Amino acid sequence: MKILFYDTKSYDKESFEDTLKAKGFTDITIEYTKSDLDPRTAALAEGFDAVCAFVSSDIGTQTLDILHEKGISLLLMRCAGFNNIDLDTATKYGIRIMRVPGYSPEAVAEHAMALALASNRRLYKAYNKVRENDFSLSGLMGFNFYEKTAGIIGTGKIGAAMCRICRGFGMKVIAYDVYQNESLKDFVEYVPLEKLLSDSDVISLHCPLMDSTYHIINIDTIRQMKDGVILVNTSRGALVKTDDLIEGIRMHKFAGVGLDVYEEETNNVFEDRSDEILEHSTTARLLSFPNVMITSHQGFFTREALGAIAETTLQNALDYMAGKESPNDVKNG
């Protein structure tokens, strides 16, 4: 099978080539292009059996029309999300879509804890101060996590990993989810959202973005939080209403805010750094606060997670070749 791999970064190529070699998958060859998949680049797939794309690719009707015309019948998503695909059109053309539903949840959970710790102890500020030869401690006071309360919203794969990490810190762990995770019953107490908001010293978001979770953190829920809380979001930007978060920061509600995801992520705010865009950017406004730390959607970015993504994607290709059904098939509807 010949796969065209879109939007290649050097680390993608490395992890996929290493996995091909390590697993001895000789039936698969991959060509890599730096271009992302969209209507302008879909025609590059001529002569290939499958394309490999990412959550950032534009896989709407036009792209699928062209992929179908070029004989592509397998779309390998090297990510969990697939809301960028026109599923009706893919179904119409019989294009099979396979994805990677889960990979190293610990990668994201460990990053969530890193953000919580870094914003609590002002590590970014400390780092810059010492580099400037300023060894004073002013502005660096934090609080112990030990014996404090961690509130975890969403206790699926990543949220459960975060619960285990918080327990390791000696924290009391409470959680809110629409389903209870049995594996956590020995040390996690499920509570209503209101109680989680009012009792937690650290709140970390691990639920998916859906109608029911859109802007789950807004000025009403922020007002219910303890003063001096730390809020971490490594899930999806639109779980937090950014304007309200800014209002909350101005009210001095937060000791720290750590964000790996933010509402403007897809607007290329920081790629196109024009003054006008930055002036209206809520993310740029967030960055002006000294107790906010933002990273660039890097929660998943560990060697182990990239290896797991490559392995599952290539196994998906093999299952397709063998005509096997897979739990990684994306179903329409």
* Residues found near ligand NAD in the complex (CB under 6 A): 102, 105, 108, 153-159, 176-179, 206-208, 212-213, 234-236, 260-261, 297, 299-300
Burial 155-187 (b: 16+ CB within 10 A, else e): bebbbbbbbebbbebebbbbbbbeeebeebeee
Q: Is 14 an annotated catalytic residue?
A: no
Q: Which C-beta is closer to ligand NAD: that of 138 or that of 212?
A: 212
Q: Which C-beta is closer to ligand NAD: that of 4 or that of 151?
A: 151
> Are the beta carbons of 113 and 314 closer than 8 angstroms?
no
**Which one from 111, 236, 263, 311 is the annotated catalytic residue?**
236
Q: Give me the helix-helix angle, 105-120 and 157-168, nearest 10°.
A: 50
Q: Is 147 an annotated catalytic residue?
A: no
Q: Which C-beta is closer to ligand NAD: that of 151 or that of 299?
A: 299
Least distance to ligand NAD, CB of residue 116, Å: 14
Phi (first) and psi of residue 68, to 5 degrees:
-65, -45
Q: Which C-beta is closer to ligand NAD: that of 71 or that of 102?
A: 102
Least distance to ligand NAD, CB of residue 114, Å: 12
Residue nearest to ligand NAD (CB): 156
**Which one from 96, 206, 265, 311 is the annotated catalytic residue?**
265
Render 79-124 in DSSP notation, one character per residue.
SS--TTB-HHHHHHHT-EEE------HHHHHHHHHHHHHHHHTTHH
How many other β-carbons are positioned within 10 Å of the β-carbon of residue 10? 9
Least distance to ligand NAD, CB of residue 174, Å: 13
Q: Which C-beta is closer to ligand NAD: that of 128 or that of 298?
A: 298
Q: Is 297 an annotated catalytic residue?
A: yes
Q: What share of the chain is helix, strand, coil (3-state, %, to 5)?
A: 40, 15, 45
Least distance to ligand NAD, CB of residue 121, Å: 21
User: Comparing C-alpha atoms, which of 80, 17, 26 is closest to residue 299?
Assistant: 80
DSSP secondary structure letter of residue 264: T
Least distance to ligand NAD, CB of residue 316, Å: 17
**Which one from 68, 167, 215, 297 is the annotated catalytic residue?**
297
> Are the beta carbons of 6 and 33 closer than 8 angstroms?
yes
- Give the side-chain half-sphere CA count within 13 A for 62: 7
The amino acid occupying position 124 is Y
Least distance to ligand NAD, CB of residue 322, Å: 27
Q: Give me the helix-helix angle, 105-120 and 303-321, nearest 10°.
A: 160
Q: Which C-beta is closer to ligand NAD: that of 144 or that of 267?
A: 267
Q: Which C-beta is closer to ligand NAD: that of 236 or that of 241?
A: 236
Phi (first) and psi of residue 255, to 5 degrees:
-75, -35
Q: Is the dihedral of CA 259, 263, 265, 268 positive or negative?
A: negative
Least distance to ligand NAD, CB of residue 155, Å: 5
Using a 10 angstrom Cβ sphere, with 0-12 exposed, 13-18 middle and 19 or more buried, the burial of residue 329 is middle
Cα–Cα distance for residue pair 162/257, rounded to 1 Å: 17
Which residues are tagged catalytic?
A: 236, 265, 297
